[in-house]
Amino acid sequence: MEKCAGDFSQEVLNLLIENKCLDCTLFDMHNRNRFADYAVLGTYTSRSHLNGVSRCLEEWMHQNGITPMSRPMNADKWFYWDCGSFVISLMDKESRSFYNLEDLYGKTEIGN
């Protein structure tokens, strides 16, 4: 059985939790927008933490045959991977509070 976007999103959520990201959340955004079915959010605690988590994410994507349509480039505090039917955002605490993606994505949280 092939994995779907929901399966991949749950795996990413688990990866972020295992890597000690804070406030890890998965949102089901079906019928809410046109850019993704799921969004995974996590908060990193330092630049070295971010680098380690990013390496784990990139390795996981490679192992699962996922080629993101966009990767973080010249990012400062918000790191974003667009994987088609799901997106991944890693932010520092201040950016997470400022951008408040939880309100943008709605109260459709399905796991944390």
> For 32-82, what is each residue's pLDDT tens digit?
767 789 999 999 999 999 999 999 999 999 999 999 998 887 678 899 999
| Cβ contacts of 90 within 8 Å, gap of 6 or more | 16, 21, 41, 42, 43, 44, 50, 53, 54, 78, 79, 80
* Closest among 26, 31, 17 to 109, alpha carbons compared: 26
> For 78-100, what is each residue's pLDDT tens digit?
999 999 999 999 999 999 999 99
- The pLDDT value given to residue 88: 96
Confidence category of residue 104, pLDDT binned at 50, 70, 90:
confident
Amino acid in the structure at residue 102: E
Confidence category of residue 29, pLDDT binned at 50, 70, 90:
confident
Confidence category of residue 19, pLDDT binned at 50, 70, 90:
very high
Is 80:87 a contact under the CB 8 Å cutoff? yes
* Closest among 5, 96, 97, 9 to 50, alpha carbons compared: 96
Question: Residue 67 gets which letter from DSSP?
Answer: -
This prediction's pTM: 0.88
- The pLDDT value given to residue 110: 59
